Amino acid sequence: MIEISVPGRAGSARARVLLTGAGGSIGEAVRSRLVEDGAEVLVLTHLPGQGGAVADFADDDALAAAVAGFGPIDHVVLAHGLLEQGPMADVPPKRWRRMIDVNLNSVYAILHAAVPSMVAGGSVVIVSSTAALDRSPGGGPHYTVSKWGLNGLVRHLSAEFGGLGIRINGIMPCLVDNPMGRAFMTAEEYEFWVSQVPMKRAAEPDEIAKVAMFLLSDAASYVTGANIPVTGGR
Ligand SMILES: NC(=O)c1ccc[n+]([C@@H]2O[C@H](COP(=O)([O-])OP(=O)(O)OC[C@H]3O[C@@H](n4cnc5c(N)ncnc54)[C@H](OP(=O)(O)O)[C@@H]3O)[C@@H](O)[C@H]2O)c1
């Protein structure tokens, strides 16, 4: 088991971890690992009925209020994301803006609200995508650009947070064996994609979660500003 670090906040024995995307495959895998590790998981979700705080991820004020309601935070794992397909002709500016709001602007709003309560030893992990190295094969232009934005945010904020002792890193999955990974692909196309992966299989969600746990642990104490591909070699 990889134990995540517990920053030296007075009186806290368990790490308090804000988690998004817990209703999804990767987020659920992260949640299981955090619970196993004894962390207190503060879930921020976009749909009611899943437990935790609920907010519209396109609403900055709602996100800030939800984060404030959690109190002090040690680590943040952002594993939410919307995937939509479409050539430019099918992505009018309104859809573009919604995607950027949900996938990118929400991350900024959550961090803007959460980081002031964090102390040295805390860290942030953002689930991005290898779409940020080139383009998304399954998603539209708005998805690709949202992920490029996340990688840039990791690079920029690592410089700003470094002096505070707070680390920030990104994880770039390529193909994950879950409904999002199979979205917009026929079974034949999916098998073709898998055949292009050197390890000849898609990732299990828990294989992304394990990298998140490493990044939250003292084993990664000198890792910041990294956008790490977790791709089976692709
Ligand atoms: N699956 C892949 O092959 C793959 C590849 C590369 C990158 N990724 C990235 O990995 C992350 C996790 O995705 P996943 O594979 O776990 O997919 P998933 O199972 O579809 O989970 C995505 C989660 O994102 C949240 N979400 C969806 N729509 C939202 C909206 N409109 N507003 C706010 N939150 C919303 C939901 O969590 P809540 O219900 O808890 O709010 C949802 O369960 C995403 O950022 C995705 O882009 C996935």
> Residue 1 falls within a domain, yes or no?
no
In the prediction, which pLDDT does 226 show? 98
Query: Residue with structure tokens 């079974």?
Result: 187
The string of pLDDT tens digits covering residues 47-98 is 998 889 999 999 999 999 999 999 999 999 999 999 999 999 999 999 999 9
> Residue 158 falls within a domain, yes or no?
yes
Q: In this structure, what CATH number is given to the domain that contains residue 158? A: 3.40.50.720
In the prediction, which pLDDT does 126 show? 99
Ligand 1 and 44: CB distance under 6 A: no
Task: Give the mutation target among 18, 20, 25, 26 for probing the ligand 1 site: most ligand atoms within 8 A of CB.
Answer: 26
69 CB-contact burial (10 Å; exposed 0-12 / middle 13-18 / buried 19+)? exposed
- Residue ranges of the chain with per-residue pLDDT less than 50: none
In the prediction, which pLDDT does 137 show? 85
Instruction: Give the residue whose CA is nearest to atom 7 of ligand 1.
Output: 129
Domain count, the chain: 1
In the prediction, which pLDDT does 138 show? 83
The verdict on whether 222 is a catalytic residue reads no
Cβ–Cβ < 8 Å for 145, 95: no
Instruction: Determine which one of 108, 143, 190, 222 is catalytic.
Output: 143
> Residue 128 falls within a domain, yes or no?
yes
Going from the Cα of 22 to the center of ligand 1, the distance in angstroms, rounded, reads 9
